[in-house]
Amino acid sequence: MFPLNQWYVAGFAWELHEQPLARVLLNQPVVMFSTSDGGVAALEDRCCHRAVPLSCGTLEDGGIRCGYHGLKFAASGQCIEVPGQVKIPGKAKVRAYPAQIRNQVIWIWFGRDADAQPDCAPPEVPAHEDPRYTWKGGAFHYQAPYQLIHDNLLDLSHVGYLHGRTIGGNAKVHMEAPTIVTQDGDKVRVVRWMKNSQPPATYAAAWPFKGRIDRWQEIDFHLTYLQIFTGAVEPDTDALDDPQRGGFHMRGFHGITPETDTTTHYFWTMASSEHPEQPGNADIVYRQTEQTFEEDRVLIERQYNNIQRYGGGPMVDIHVDAGANRARRIVAAHVAAQTAATAE
């Protein structure tokens, strides 16, 4: 069901406190905790003694102690202490997942084999380290499969209809916006321009636009996450294809991680620029982004319920589906290759 040998988002660094952090990711129960060097450890959430979740235990000196009989496990998954027993059984260990923190994002590597190691570094989120931006983030839990969220993010033509109170705008302009869809290996890029359009509520609240705006949307899909760059400038000022263009910027990070076959973790951040005449807009952007994403969650869960009700009947594609369809083909190719490799 899921592409493997990939880095998946498991949460954020600020979630690691003095208690274990437990999540189900790709159908795998995982427990995470901070290591003594400021990193993160990720273990299967099951003590090898009597199968009690390790997340029911406590953290001690960079390790985790089972809350049932006190076996202590290191970040490597190896048991390093059995209370009342000097010799530690050689088989006393649990699966450890490669995990790293980068730009405040927790990434876990899910390989095709239990002992598979990463062949690359975790993805970077440049906006989190860019002094031009202030950013915040959060998480949603979806009662829906992850690819429906991919579909939603790769097709921003819907924002004029669903998000009229925040990032929307004129629905007709959105549906008719010139759109370019390209693909480079496993990456899909969707670029949309809406010149001379009315600024939506979020833009007007965060930036002192004088009237109409030239607006852009750039969506970059990767197998396990998306980065979306949206924003606007005053009409006929900066070119919309200029990487150094100014104006109002919103850089969104979207970590779409399956929990199970039918439920999903959605980890997100939004980084925004601010105008000297209208500073301190980060809270406004964050609140309205959170509202926008909650609207998406409600609709997508209803969509999934309807798909189940009607038995997954055929759906008709229209012009706005090009990016989402390419992404689905990429995921399907990975899953098919994994299935074939397993059968050999």
Number of Cβ atoms within 10 Å of the Cβ of 168: 20
How many angstroms separate the CA atoms of 111 and 160, rounded?
39
Confidence check: pLDDT of 291 > 90 = yes
Is 115 within 8 Å of 231 (Cβ atoms)? no
Residue 192 within a domain? yes
Residue 118 within a domain? no
Residue 342 within a domain? no
Closest of 137, 128, 129, 149 to residue 285, by C-alpha: 137
Of the chain, the percentage scoring pLDDT greater than 90 comes to 92
Task: Dump the DSSP string for 148-175.
Answer: HHHHHHH-GGGHHHH-TTTT---HHHHH
pLDDT band at 314 (very low <50, low <70, confident <90, very high): confident
- Given this model, what pLDDT does residue 344 score? 75
* Average of per-residue pLDDT values in the chain: 96
- Give the containing element (helix H, strand E) for 299: helix 282-309
**247 and 135 in a common domain:** yes
**309 and 175 in a common domain:** yes
Q: What is the largest CA-CA distance in the chain?
A: 76
Domain that holds residue 276: 129-335
pLDDT band at 134 (very low <50, low <70, confident <90, very high): very high
Confidence check: pLDDT of 229 > 90 = yes
**220 and 166 in a common domain:** yes
How many angstroms separate the CA atoms of 231 and 226, rounded?
16
Residue 226 within a domain? yes
202-205: which pairs have CB atoms within 8 A and are 24 or more residues apart? 202/166, 202/167, 202/250, 202/284, 202/285, 202/288, 202/289, 202/292, 203/167, 203/232, 203/248, 205/281, 205/284, 205/288
Domain at 36, CATH number: 2.102.10.10
- Given this model, what pLDDT does residue 17 score? 87
**105 and 134 in a common domain:** no
Residue 213 within a domain? yes
- Given this model, what pLDDT does residue 57 score? 97
* Tally of domains in the chain: 2
Q: C-alpha dihedral over 230, 154, 190, 232, to 10 degrees?
A: -10
**105 and 49 in a common domain:** yes
Is 214 within 8 Å of 226 (Cβ atoms)? no
Strands 63-65 and 58-60, by their bridges, are: antiparallel
| Domain final residue pick, 110, 138, 153 | 110
Residue 119 within a domain? no
pLDDT tens for 243-271 read 999 999 999 999 999 999 999 999 999 99
| Domain final residue pick, 110, 143, 175 | 110
Residue 116 within a domain? no
| Domain final residue pick, 78, 110, 142 | 110
Beta bridge partner(s), residue 97: 42
145 phi/psi in degrees, rounded to 5 = -65, 150
Closest of 239, 258, 261, 192 to residue 220, by C-alpha: 192
- Give the sheet arrangement for strand 105-110, strand by strand: 6-12, 105-110, 99-102
Is 219 within 8 Å of 190 (Cβ atoms)? yes
**156 and 83 in a common domain:** no
**207 and 142 in a common domain:** yes
Q: What is the mean pLDDT of residues 22-32?
A: 98
**137 and 49 in a common domain:** no
Domain at 304, CATH number: 3.90.380.10
3-state secondary structure of 300: helix
Closest of 10, 223, 42, 7 to residue 120, by C-alpha: 7
pLDDT tens for 168-217 read 989 999 999 999 999 999 999 999 999 999 999 999 999 999 999 999 99
Confidence check: pLDDT of 62 > 80 = no
**136 and 21 in a common domain:** no
- The distance from CA 228 to its chain's CA centroid, rounded to whole angstroms, is 11
**171 and 98 in a common domain:** no
**78 and 205 in a common domain:** no
**Residue 11 contacts by C-beta under 8 Å, 6 or more apart in sequence?**
21, 23, 32, 106, 139, 267
Residue 344 within a domain? no
pLDDT band at 222 (very low <50, low <70, confident <90, very high): very high
pLDDT tens for 91-123 read 999 999 999 999 999 999 999 998 889 999 999
Residue 160 tokens read as: 């004029």
**287 and 244 in a common domain:** yes
